[in-house]
Structure 1
Amino acid sequence: MVAIRVIREEGADPLVPLPSYETAGAAGADVRANLPDGASVILQPGRRALIPTGLRIEIPQGFEVQVRPRSGLALKHGITLPNTPGTIDSDYRGPLGVIVMNAGQEPFEITHGERIAQLIVAPVVQAMFQDVEALTETDRGAGGFGSTGRS
């Protein structure tokens, strides 16, 4: 288990729960909106907004936190995250906000304390990029999008 240290932003509602896993087998911890004065945000179709969580997190070196949409919000309301998965690097200490987009047909109200996204803790491997004269050959070669056909 990896420990993620969390502090609340000044003025954040301390009654909004910290990110949590809702089931024993959950890969993602749900994170909640922590809106100023407990207000709500109406997100019109096609629009996006940065929703505050009221949190700052400390991720151990060698890990990242990925921010992903919640499938129920996506299916039922068209609510998604346009930069999925968003990455929070281990050296970032600023406020944790979630960019939320309404890809649905109706306005959607994001309420204070609502679960808006999920956080996935993942290991990071950094690579060394090497400038070379040629790449090894493969059966696929330079075949791009759709080059392997449909099955």
Structure 2
Amino acid sequence: MISIRLKWAEGADRDLPLPCYQTAGAAGADIRANLPEAPITLAPGRRVLVPTGLHMEIPPGYEVQVRPRSGLALKHGITLVNSPGTIDSDYRGPVGVIMLNTSDTAFDVTHGMRIAQLVVAPVIRSTFDITDTLEDTDRGAAGFGSTGSS
């Protein structure tokens, strides 16, 4: 297990729970909206950056992925625009969640609401090398939908 160090953002409600796993087998830790002043109404088809009130210190060699919560997606059509989002190990700014309302009904993001889940993952760095040829595969250059519909 690794440790992610957290720091409260200025003006954040420090009484909110920190990100936490809801069950013993959960891969993602829920993170909450930190909106001590007022809720945010997310109109249909609109997106908004929701503050969490936190800054993170992620160990080198890791990232934190920000992913949608399935209950918000199924029940309300709320998802995340850049899913999964990545928080890099060298980023120290405020953590925000870009929420998108895909439904035809306005949705209120309220203070303390669980809005996303965080998955800590190792990062493998690579080099990128130009070549004149690539190894052949059965699929080859066949693109989107080329492996069938079922």
Compute the TM-score of the two structures, normalised by the length of structure 1.
0.97
Partner Cα distance (1:98, 1:55) in 2: 11
Q: Which residue of 2 aligns with 1:34?
A: 34
- Deviation track 1:105-130 (CA, whole Å, cap 9, x = no partner) reads 21100100100000000000011111
Q: Which residue identity is paired with 1:81?
A: L
**What SS class does the counterpart of residue 18 from structure 1 fall into?**
coil
Q: Which residue identity is paired with 1:25?
A: G
**What SS class does the counterpart of residue 73 from structure 1 fall into?**
helix
1:90 deviation in Å?
A: 0.3
Q: Which residue of 1 aligns with 2:73?
A: 74
1:36 deviation in Å?
A: 4.0
Structure 1 segments of 4+ aligned residues over 2 angstroms from their partners:
none
Q: Which residue of 2 aligns with 1:60?
A: 59
Partner Cα distance (2:85, 2:147) in 1: 28
Q: Which residue of 2 aligns with 1:143?
A: 142
Structure 2 portions without partners, runs of 5+: none
1:100 deviation in Å?
A: 0.4
1:150 deviation in Å?
A: 2.6
1:19 deviation in Å?
A: 0.4
**What SS class does the counterpart of residue 60 from structure 2 fall into?**
coil
Partner Cα distance (2:35, 2:149) in 1: 45
Q: Which residue of 2 aligns with 1:104?
A: 103
Matched, 1:14 2:14: yes
RMSD over aligned CA atoms reads 0.8
Structure 1 portions without partners, runs of 5+: none
1:2 deviation in Å?
A: 1.1
**What SS class does the counterpart of residue 76 from structure 1 fall into?**
helix
Residues paired across the two proteins, number: 150
1:133 deviation in Å?
A: 1.3
**What SS class does the counterpart of residue 97 from structure 2 fall into?**
strand
